[in-house]
A and B are shown apart, each in its own frame.
Chain A
Amino acid sequence: MTEGNESIAGRRMFVIGGILVLLFLLLPQVANLGSYILSLLFTLFIYIVLSHSWNLLGGYAGQFNIGLAAYFGSGVLSWSLLYFAGVPPYLAMLAGGLVAVILACVIGIPTLRLKGIYFAIGTLALAEALRITVGNLFPASVHVPPSYWENYSILERYYIGFALVIITVTVVYTIVHSKLGLALKAIRDDEEAAKATGLNPAKYKILVFFISSFLVGLAGGAFSYYRGLITPVFQFTPDWTFGPLLAACIGGLGTISGPILGSIVFVILQEVFSQTIGKAHFIVTGIFFILVVLFLPKGLVQSGVPLRRFLAGLIGRE
């Protein structure tokens, strides 16, 4: 790609992005979308945030964290505990993000010493361990007073969700186009080689891990604010990892639009199948995913980093 093309494409993205942002900002003011649509869009926003956060560590840095649900759940749970103890909602959301970062210190950092598939499995194992523990310690649903619903505004949640999307995409974009982004790319492509050039991969991996988990925790808090009534253990289930992971991979790893597109596909499928028993949308997504792995490794966006690049890293360059 020549300089000229890149800046034209870049500018085009900005324009499209700008139009979309305006659209999402103003649409609810202009049209009466109704709570169903606003809820659906909120869910989409959350998935975009989760998917992008996963993509930050997975698609850009090459570390597949399949314990994402632990950070989401911790954001949800801590928001719930704090808010119903009197903390203002937005502050509680920030706290949710911080709790997720603290969790990252406890269970995330040690696992970063693992390479490739061992990292992936290790994160899953610890996330599952946390889920079981939470299930034992917090068996019941959170108690929500009726006043909560009386003052409930879905529009407010909508804008919060959208704000999170803006924040996330901005953060990702900034990182990708910074020196940090270059470092991540080097680590993703060949960690040993990166080390040889004087890079300290651990430092960058930890930093991205923190950012990723903070965003996820934030999203967890927002989700809790949206849901009100939650059963803690259900927010720690692997589904909350798999959905965003699939969205990112199907859409296109290591791109900005990939996770967004993937999340749209995922949420639509989820809605379409919401009336059938179980999580039938996962069947379709699962098949989609297999087909993408076998035939479309660059994802739907077709400009994603091919899944192959990660697979070499997954086995730690044996």
Chain B
Amino acid sequence: MVLEVDKIDVYYGDLKALWEVSLIVEDGEIVVLFGSNGAGKSTTLRTICGLLRPATGSIRFKGLSLIEQPVHKIAELGIGMVPEEKKVFRGMTVLENLELGAFLGSARQRKDATMNWIYEVFPVLKERRKQKAGTLSGGEQQMLLISRALMSQPKLLLVDELSFGLGPLLVQNLFRIIKQIHESTGITILLVEQNVRMALELSDRGYIIENGSIIGEGKAQDFLSSQQVQDAYFGISSEG
């Protein structure tokens, strides 16, 4: 397996956010972590990429323990993160944002080739490459975030709330593109999503998280046909 999260507890100060969260992601899979607002989805991703540290438990990436590593080392190991919120470098151009995505050694050498590929997938970024990232629309910024994370050609891509603040058509488009990218590169993906139905249609497996604990796990197909899941989670549109 590529990623193994084993019984992590995470605190914000004195407030406990995650209780013994465990999940597995196998090579080449797309796995979705879903649950209601504030359930701990983003917290889980942020802990995996190193922005938060678990108090107990372990996180292993290809066998290597992540919890003592600083954030930039975890990125070096091959984990890319598409963060939630508009975290593009607003004052820098699209081109510069992408260049910075390829900051790490080997990625830097392959930078031009990777960028050309990104331009094929997201032509609008090529159009706007000399513009400041802050002037892009919400959807375009999201595309930039995805692209920037892909510039380092990660083995594992973490995606945090892709659909946040975006209209349904745009979200559909983005998910379609993610599927394309997955098919052509075989990249492993763990995504956290509010728009559960679309995410399940994209994924192989899923985990349900509520109140900081994993309460369910299974194949995406099973979740899609489950009445309970449909009642609880479908029809939750992304909140503005």
Answer whether A and B touch in the complex at a CB cut-off of 8 Å: no
Using a CB–CB cutoff of 8 Å, the interface residues on chain B facing chain A are none
